[in-house]
Amino acid sequence: MDRISELEGLIEAKKHCHLIGIGGVSMSPLAKVLHDRGIPVTGSDQSDSAAVRDLMAQGITVHIGHAGENVLGAAYVIRTAAARDDNPEVEYARDNGIPVFERAEAWGCIMRHYKNALCISGTHGKTTTTSMCTHILMAAKCDPTVMIGGTLPLLHAGYRVGRGDTIVLESCEYYNSFLSFSPTVAVILDIEADHLDFFKDLEDVKKSFRAFANLVPSYTGTVVVNLDDRNTMDAVDGVRRRIVTFGLSPDADIRAKNIDWKGGVSEFDVVYKMKTYCHVRLNVPGLHNVKNALAAAAAAIVLGVPGEAVARGLEAFRGAVRRFEYKGEVNGARVYDDYSHHPGELKVLLDTVRQISSGRVILAFQPHTYSRTKALFDDFVAQLKRADKVYLAEIYAARETNTIGISSADLAAQVPGAVFCPTFTELTEHLRRDAAPGDIILTVGAGNIYTICDELVEKK
């Protein structure tokens, strides 16, 4: 019996499941999906959080801290990618013959039960595009099940348990986790070198995405790809599946025509097979979001969603939490929070800001992981130099320890005028003192830099 079939049997039998790292962005919705199916669920997390408290309010027992005894009574364990083999709960489970599954394997098992499994992948744009797809499917009354790696205001959460025949999931390449999925429609937005603590190089990343594309069924599945991204097209070269392309190129199967910009809002026609499929009014700024919308429209076309629902869904989309999210003002400066943590994402973010504002750009950046900071150091420096003023918080460790001996102070030393702030208190003071009318302040990073926004912005 393969692992997925074994897990499927345990889920169908409603056996007690224990989730390690249950408060995580994709673990907490998984816990809720299993709990809603009537499966006894317990879990553990390293620290208390709003997600943990929400789970506990629904009757799920959550232990703070990891210990072997937390697993008592469980028939199987599902772990987050951050829970390594030396985690005491993983060790206890294996010592006692309790099978341990990966989070991605659980989602892969669940999606087997849906007619349509739409999986959104790519180095950048996954959360936004998955959110756009959710808006479209909701507008089309498909009643989808959804898993997003961020909070979508439409759902007031990062997940939804629907009763329709479609599931849409944000699909991450890190640790090849998306290779446990079972997509019927696989979307690849773009590919860059990232997660180089796991992948060897860009070619290794491409190999992973190629394997992902090959997961779709040979005759009934579809791979939706960005024709404008050379790395993506390299990755799917030779893939013997139905390929549908999107992009700004006139050669794309689904493309944007007659783009009209009005401040941060764009309007354009989505063209498919030489005909206008729908007219879109997009209320999130940036050319990258036009491309994300094209990807969502392409997926909708593959799923047979009418153009009218695509237009309504995309017009209603106002962004996901921490994706160029407006937080308020300080001293007349507008404050936005963003999840960008890769040089390519920083570039897109700064391009977008320059498109909608001629004011000064003040960037407060918290690098994410020591390995990424080192591997992409020069690229980070090049993008940081584009801001008018830069403040750097210390690197967010996430899953790592600093065996490299690198600090945000090293980045600051290479960016003229940049200031390294060892504490958030110091960072907030600098931003408040520096802010002036007409400025744009960006708090950026995949760590916890977003926590300064509530203190920074002025209460109305």
Task: Read off the DSSP letter of residue 237.
Answer: T
Catalytic residue among 32, 126, 291, 327: 126
- Cα-based angle 387, 336, 414 (whole degrees, multiple of 5): 25
Q: Both ends of the chain: CA-CA distance in Å? A: 60
Tell me if residue 127 is catalytic. Answer: yes
- The SS3 of residue 72 is coil
- Radius of gyration of the chain, Cα coordinates, nearest whole angstrom: 22
Give the whole-angstrom CA distance, residue 449 versus residue 443. Answer: 7
Catalytic residue among 105, 170, 173, 192: 170
> β-strands 419-421, 145-152: how paired?
unpaired
**Cβ atoms of 103 and 78 closer than 8 Å:** yes
Pick the closest to residue 99 from 29, 11, 176 (CA basis). Answer: 11
**Cβ atoms of 321 and 150 closer than 8 Å:** yes
Tell me if residue 91 is catalytic. Answer: no
Give the whole-angstrom CA distance, residue 125 versus residue 142. Answer: 23
**Cβ atoms of 393 and 427 closer than 8 Å:** yes
Tell me if residue 6 is catalytic. Answer: no
Residue located via tokens 């139905």: 242
Q: Rounded to 5 degrees, what are φ and ψ at 281? A: -110, 115
Catalytic residue among 42, 80, 127, 373: 127
Pick the closest to residue 89 from 51, 46, 59, 27 (CA basis). Answer: 46
Q: Which residues are marked as active site?
A: 126-127, 170
